[in-house]
Structure 1
Amino acid sequence: MISICFVLAIIIFFFIFINQEISYGAEVASVSEEVYSGTETAKKILILNSYHEGFSWTKEQNDSIITEFQEYGSSVYIMNEFIDWKNYPYKENLDYLYEYYSYKYENKDIDIIITTDDIALNFALGHRANIFSDAPIIFSGVNEDGTESITSGFDRLTGVIEVIDPTKTIETALKINPSLKNIYIVFDNSESGLSTGKIVMDKIKKVNPDLNLIPCNNMLYEDLIEQVKVLEEDSIVYITTYFQDVIGRVIDAVYATNEISLNSRVPVYHLYDFGLNNGILGGSLLSGRVQGELASNIAKRVLQGEDIDDIPVVVEDSMITVYDYKQLERFGIPRNLLPEDAEIINKPFSFYEAYRGFVNGVIIAFVILITFVIVLLGYIKKIRKMRRELSENHEELTQTYEELTASDEEIRKQYDEMLIINERIREGEEKLVYLAYHDSLTGILNKYSLLEASDYIFTKEKGKIALFFIDIDNFKYVNDTMGHAFGDQLIIKVCARLSTLLNDNASLYRHSGDEFILILENILGTEEAEEFAQKLLDKFDFGFELQGSFVHVGISIGVAIYPDHGVRIEQLLEYADIAMYHAKDKGKKNYMVYDRAMKQNFAERVNIEKNLHGALDNNEFKVYYQPQFDAKTQKITGLEALLRWESPVLGNVSPLKFIKIAEDIHVIIPIGTWVLQQACSFLSKLHNMGYTDITISVNISIRQLLQIDFCEIVQTTLEEYNLEPEYLELEITESMLIKSFDSIAQSLEKLHSINVRIALDDFGMGYSSLNYLTHLPIDTLKIDKSFIDTIINPFKISLAGQIVKLGKSIGLSVIAEGVEYEEQANYLEEYDCDKIQGFLYSRPIPEDDIIKLLEAEGRSHND
């Protein structure tokens, strides 16, 4: 009877719930009819996102924009694109997207472009006239520094500035812990990471100048985790933009937040709201949703006819104040120390508080039913007694019959059990055979089935055969963030969609994880294989609905042809796998057909990247020096430090090959610091030997200049080797100057303020940098070798002399690089060039040879 009462209570609750749902459904239906009632000509809005679709920050902005435009119904047509810059921060990715978008939007008139974050705004400004109908641009997710540097000189654009302000978070942290002294700032060495880290630290200093700020951008991820394990109670952790560690390894932001919070002994705060529910205490968080709403409001004003140039950039607080109840409990923090407007998430659910009236009614009904049950129990007790007496009589009558039939029943039972066992053995054998050749998750054939069937397939002689190596893009991210069960369901859905293209000549196999192999038999050649690959890609233009979420994923495909690329299944799998990775490098959601150059290029880059990681620790680098000679006296006045790599595996690797890769994988910072130390050490040695007039030049990269503490590193190195700053000259390239003027100008001024000289290398390489020569602290102008070569070319007019005059006229020292002939040296001397550098006098040589060269000049050590 207690069970009956419980069922009645559930029924009452069910009817209340159903009544609420019916009312809600009616309201939704009414709204839907209003939203889609319009039939005006659709306005086309392109949302261009900087990062990948699954990134929480991007998703919040993007979803918020789409939601805001739902009220326009069919009168607005929204197009979505994702540059995926976090995973593919390469120029080749942008070049590919330019070609792709040029084709895709060739005949589409775009009315408004909405960009999220820096790279999308930069891309849209650079190409809107060519491929985006010269549409007005509305941006969001760009901080103050980024907005000023990216939008300068452009019109017909406005947007929402991502106002980075940790003030409220730090004030609350100080209120929670008045003894707070140390704040560990977590950010990475990307341009956006360095910019965000600098803004955050500058504003924290304004809150309390006595706080000790420790930047964590130069730490390995493992060292960072170990660091937070031992923090004292006078410390906190503040996470900003963190997607990679000091050696360039890509770190999933959500995973890193979880790991840091899990291992930290002190509260962890965050700058962005995607850190919520991942172990952080909370804070005043930048909201992607609010950024998207503000950008949408501007777009609506433009759609209503307002001139975009009349709409000012929105500098509005887009932060929300949220704290996690679980973390407040973990650190014993009372709620009265939080801001009044703070939202508390993850509070335990109280059924009684939510349904007080309903629960009281159920209790009263339960008491009434209990009374009724007690009355019934007395009656039931009497009935049971009567049944027991009848049962005893019945048992006596049936006992005799059962004894007679027991022996026959036992034999029959044993026989039936034997049949059941035999059937189960047969079914088990069939299941084992099935599992050996089929994938347990999707039910399709597995890789063992492929290997066994390949001999038969490749000997049927029905023409060429294409092997497609298919990989789901960003599957690991989806699997890690949404869970393995979600990932399994996604694989099943992808398999089902791929299977729709199967026919008598096509068969599908699951290779491993998120990888599939598709065999297409009896094709005429590569063109037919490419057409089929495009059909596979087209199948993923639409997303998947899983567990109440809508997920967009693409696939990357590598194609190998039998017998063109190989006659064994192992060869074709290897070559298709290589082609698939080239397809991913091209920008994902793409296909590539294998060619032999791929294997060589792929293997060469992989080998360089693999060996480059340990080269510095293994002492594989050397520094050579090329002398710089006075043009009139032909005496050595300075040296340029040049990096050389002698790999025990790869041999001598050209800097043209490994420097760019070192920048891509973020090891250029420790390598560059090492080169600076080696150069200063050698210069100190020369000065101690008496060659006190010699200077040293060191090339630096953009990533080094963007380090917040780069000037301090240079100053510390000079002090370590007892050198005056004016004897050190740092060389930057002309292309670096033009592309990153706003980012590096402050660093150059800071270096110049301590008397370190700045040289502009490769001057004249096709960029227009004349305007910057008088606006930046440039001391030396280095003429590019291409201009020097024209001096002895009778078919070209040399501008080298005019460049020397230009440099001298604005007070710069001028060095000519790449001088190889006496005619060139004489020409430059006539134009009063200061220094000459090139093979005419010396190639780059080791330290000992430099000393011999100085001694051979015949001057004393004190000259």
Structure 2
Amino acid sequence: MDWVGAVKEGLVRVFPEDDPGTVIYTEYMDGKIVSDSLHYENLAAVYRHKYASISVDLIFVSDDDAYSFLLTYGDELFPDVPVVFFGVSGYAPAHREKMPRLTGVVEEMHVNPTVDLITTLQPGVQNIYVVNDPGTTTGRLFAAELAEKAAAYNGTLTFSAPGETRMAALCHDLKNLTSGSAVLLMDFNRDSDGRIYRDSEIAGIISDWSPVPVYGISDTFIGHGIIGGVVTGTTDQAESAAGMGADILNGTLPTDMPVSGSPEAHVVVDYVEMQEYGLPFSLLPEGSQVINQPYEGVVLPGWILLIIIVGAGALTVVVLVLVRSNRHIAKAKRDLDTSNQKLKTLFSITRHDVNNQVMAASGFLEILSEDITDTGVQPFINYIRKALKNIEEQIAFARDYEKAGVSDPVWQNPGVIAKEAGSRQHGVSVDVVLPGIEIFADPMLEKVFANLFENSVRHGEHATRVQVTASLRGDAQVIVVEDNGAGIPDGKKEHIFKRGYGANTGYGLFLASDILALTGLTITETGIFGSGARFEITVPKGRWRTAR
């Protein structure tokens, strides 16, 4: 579970979502993306307007960026409203002197206990490679904490941290780590290029690229490829803070509630990763939690086992073959998943780097075009501008295509999804008239409708309206997306779903067709040239149902 999900789970343990007496407003401040004073000022203006007529009884604040914002603007925006914080490392007693209604749970970073766990499980370790992003508020606090804690290991361990870095450089460093090293993942939500990473995502990337064991100081990393660490449950922190909030709502004054430390920390390790690196479970401290342990089975009396063995003798060879085969399949799947993750990471980094270069080239081209007065050169500048635009669109396609088929298909209401996609389309009006049905499709179904609507805008010439309807043909539902534009010539109908075909990038309809094909849905173009384009999505029996 990622950090946001863990926080929410802890809060709803005390404040259930279905409680009619509680209304919770959640604000995502995007502090990992930008946390400068201008961003805070803009947020303050939004909240000032939004909550001008809303009575707020209690504020929960989580993460250091949100906490810093409340310290600056809390008195102005929410005067006299009690504030309970958690997941915050930057608390200082002086903050409570400034804001007496403040209380909460201080996040404790168990750096030394986790390093001690590393040296216990890997007695020969000499170097700790630290992954942290000092470009964020939390990352800077963690870096300062590391500098203080690392002093306890002078002469026995060396700590190396790359600081702010691009993901490609980080992966290169990890790949070249040698035996005698271990990785400590502290906090990495943003690289130097500005790309944002979820906890589960960064843990998976780091562990995939590192040839040595990876440890972490947050429970949200565990279960995603790392060995483990000494951690306090994020959900437990949130629940503890929620309990303080409930007491405040029941009449306890915040000034009577001292700021507390995090709930008790525990050693948590992943069985699969411990086995992968051959680390001894016998060296784990008493009370350690081991996740992903294999099912132990049920211990049966000997006489029952004898009956089973005798009765199943004829099946022994088959069972042994199946077990061996299944083990090979499981190993092959793990190897394939690892390879896919590495390719995905490499692809994502490359795509991001190319996009940055395209943006830079576009900027320089605009500057260049302002200084050139030779009209004979202008067509070449326009050609370069168009080529760069095509590259941008191809990068966008690559990002979308990478997501297709990654998540399991789900039952979705096409009417709701088509309306959502249509609400973001300003080139034509979109009218959705669909029956109450659900279809079994890839989660990127919205992209299908978005691309079809975009097709009408780009190629419909005089198209002003798109209509989405459906009808039952035999045992299949046929969803029709049609516009009042120019239509598609008969000679092009069979080619428009091919990759790269079209006046622009030629990827929109190809992607739509591929997304639908993942669950056995098909798309064809049946319109009459001159009367508009008409796309028919056929949803076979078993892939649609009446909406529930």
1:122–1:150 Cα contact (<8 Å) kept: no
Residue 132 in 1 paired to residue 132 in 2?
no
Could you report, residue by residue, the CA deviation over 1:427-462 in whole angstroms, capped at 9, with x for unpaired residues? xxxxxxxxxxxxxxxxxxxxxxxxxxxxxxxxxxxx
Residue 210 in 1 paired to residue 156 in 2?
yes
How far off is 1:331 after superposition? 1.0
Counterpart amino acid of 2:121?
Answer: I
Q: Which residue of 1 aligns with 2:139?
A: 193
Q: How does 1:561-580 map onto structure 2 within 5 Å?
A: none
SS of the equivalent of 1:159 reads: strand
Q: Which residue of 1 aligns with 2:438?
A: none
Choose which of 179, 184, 200 in structure 1 pairs with 2:124. Answer: 179
Counterpart amino acid of 1:341?
Answer: G
SS of the equivalent of 2:55 reads: coil
Choose which of 258, 268, 287 in structure 2 pairs with 1:312. Answer: 258
2:57–2:81 Cα contact (<8 Å) kept: yes
Residue 159 in 1 paired to residue 114 in 2?
no
How far off is 1:62 after superposition? 2.2
Q: Distance in 2 between matches of 1:272 and 1:71?
A: 26
Could you report, residue by residue, the CA deviation over 1:87-118 in whole angstroms, capped at 9, with x for unpaired residues? 34454543443333233322222111111112
Could you report, residue by residue, the CA deviation over 1:819-856 in whole angstroms, capped at 9, with x for unpaired residues? xxxxxxxxxxxxxxxxxxxxxxxxxxxxxxxxxxxxxx
How has the CA–CA distance of structure 1 residues 265 and 367 changed in structure 2, closer, same or farther, with 3 Å as cutoff?
closer
Residue 86 in 1 paired to residue 32 in 2?
yes
How has the CA–CA distance of structure 1 residues 80 and 346 changed in structure 2, closer, same or farther, with 3 Å as cutoff?
same
How has the CA–CA distance of structure 1 residues 279 and 499 changed in structure 2, closer, same or farther, with 3 Å as cutoff?
closer
How far off is 1:498 after superposition? 2.7
1:113–1:135 Cα contact (<8 Å) kept: yes
Q: Distance in 2 between matches of 1:202 and 1:276?
A: 25
**5+ residue gaps, structure 2:** 315-397, 433-443, 457-503, 506-548
Q: Distance in 2 between matches of 1:362 and 1:97?
A: 71
How far off is 1:128 after superposition? 3.5
Residue 506 in 1 paired to residue 430 in 2?
yes
SS of the equivalent of 1:273 reads: coil
Q: How does 1:113-132 map onto structure 2 within 5 Å?
A: 113-132=59-78
Q: Distance in 1 between matches of 2:150 and 2:26?
A: 37
How far off is 1:347 after superposition? 1.4
Q: Which residue of 2 aligns with 1:170?
A: 115
SS of the equivalent of 1:321 reads: strand
Counterpart amino acid of 1:506?
Answer: V
Q: How does 1:571-610 map onto structure 2 within 5 Å?
A: none
Q: Distance in 1 between matches of 2:185 and 2:171?
A: 13
Counterpart amino acid of 1:270?
Answer: G
Q: How does 1:481-520 map onto structure 2 within 5 Å?
A: 484-486=406-408, 495-498=417-420, 506-507=430-431, 512=447, 515=450
Choose which of 268, 273, 281 in structure 2 pairs with 1:322. Answer: 268
SS of the equivalent of 1:291 reads: helix
SS of the equivalent of 1:349 reads: coil
How has the CA–CA distance of structure 1 residues 248 and 498 changed in structure 2, closer, same or farther, with 3 Å as cutoff?
closer
How far off is 1:165 after superposition? 1.9
Could you report, residue by residue, the CA deviation over 1:4-23 in whole angstroms, capped at 9, with x for unpaired residues? xxxxxxxxxxxxxxxxxxxx
Q: Which residue of 2 aligns with 1:258?
A: 204
Residue 301 in 1 paired to residue 247 in 2?
yes
Q: Distance in 1 between matches of 2:399 and 2:264?
A: 27
Choose which of 177, 186, 194 in structure 2 pairs with 1:231. Answer: 177
Choose which of 39, 42, 48 in structure 2 pairs with 1:102. Answer: 48
Counterpart amino acid of 1:302?
Answer: I
2:103–2:258 Cα contact (<8 Å) kept: yes
Q: Which residue of 2 aligns with 1:70?
A: 16
Q: How does 1:147-546 map onto structure 2 within 5 Å?
A: 147=92, 153-190=98-135, 191-206=137-152, 210-352=156-298, 484-486=406-408, 495-498=417-420, 506-507=430-431, 512=447, 515=450
Q: Distance in 2 between matches of 1:170 and 1:299?
A: 34
Q: Distance in 1 between matches of 2:229 and 2:40?
A: 35
Q: Distance in 1 between matches of 2:205 and 2:117?
A: 24
How far off is 1:511 after superposition? 9.1
Choose which of 90, 111, 116 in structure 1 pairs with 2:57. Answer: 111
SS of the equivalent of 1:284 reads: strand
**5+ residue gaps, structure 1:** 1-54, 371-475, 522-572, 575-863
How far off is 1:500 after superposition? 9.5
1:510–1:516 Cα contact (<8 Å) kept: no
1:57–1:274 Cα contact (<8 Å) kept: yes
Which structure would you say has the larger Rg? 1
Q: How does 1:789-800 map onto structure 2 within 5 Å?
A: none
How far off is 1:267 after superposition? 0.9
**Identical aligned pairs, as a percentage?**
24
Could you report, residue by residue, the CA deviation over 1:713-754 in whole angstroms, capped at 9, with x for unpaired residues? xxxxxxxxxxxxxxxxxxxxxxxxxxxxxxxxxxxxxxxxxx
Counterpart amino acid of 1:485?
Answer: S
1:479–1:487 Cα contact (<8 Å) kept: no
How far off is 1:493 after superposition? 7.9
Residue 56 in 1 paired to residue 2 in 2?
yes
Q: Distance in 1 between matches of 2:265 and 2:258?
A: 20
2:203–2:221 Cα contact (<8 Å) kept: yes
Counterpart amino acid of 1:256?
Answer: I
Q: How well do the aligned residues superpose, as a CA RMSD in angstroms?
A: 4.3
Counterpart amino acid of 1:158?
Answer: T
1:115–1:121 Cα contact (<8 Å) kept: yes
1:185–1:197 Cα contact (<8 Å) kept: no
How far off is 1:142 after superposition? 0.8
TM-score, normalised relative to structure 1: 0.37
Q: Distance in 2 between matches of 1:477 and 1:275?
A: 25
How has the CA–CA distance of structure 1 residues 499 and 86 changed in structure 2, closer, same or farther, with 3 Å as cutoff?
closer
Q: Distance in 2 between matches of 1:488 and 1:83?
A: 30
Counterpart amino acid of 1:137?
Answer: V
2:2–2:199 Cα contact (<8 Å) kept: no
1:163–1:317 Cα contact (<8 Å) kept: no
How has the CA–CA distance of structure 1 residues 61 and 225 changed in structure 2, closer, same or farther, with 3 Å as cutoff?
same
How far off is 1:222 after superposition? 1.9
1:109–1:132 Cα contact (<8 Å) kept: no
Q: Distance in 2 between matches of 1:149 and 1:517?
A: 57
Q: Distance in 2 between matches of 1:347 and 1:137?
A: 40
How has the CA–CA distance of structure 1 residues 513 and 142 changed in structure 2, closer, same or farther, with 3 Å as cutoff?
farther
Q: Distance in 2 between matches of 1:284 and 1:294?
A: 19
Q: Distance in 1 between matches of 2:195 and 2:453?
A: 32
Q: Distance in 2 between matches of 1:342 and 1:300?
A: 31
How far off is 1:298 after superposition? 1.0
Q: Which residue of 2 aligns with 1:757?
A: none
1:225–1:263 Cα contact (<8 Å) kept: yes
**Greater relative contact order (Cα 8 A, min sep 6): structure 1 or 2?**
2
Q: Which residue of 1 aligns with 2:389?
A: none
- How many residues of Structure 1 are paired with residues of Structure 2 in the alignment? 359
Counterpart amino acid of 1:162?
Answer: E
TM-score, normalised relative to structure 2: 0.56
How far off is 1:363 after superposition? 6.8
How has the CA–CA distance of structure 1 residues 203 and 514 changed in structure 2, closer, same or farther, with 3 Å as cutoff?
farther
Counterpart amino acid of 1:177?
Answer: Q
1:65–1:296 Cα contact (<8 Å) kept: yes
Could you report, residue by residue, the CA deviation over 1:470-507 in whole angstroms, capped at 9, with x for unpaired residues? xxxxxx999999972347767958624538989x9534
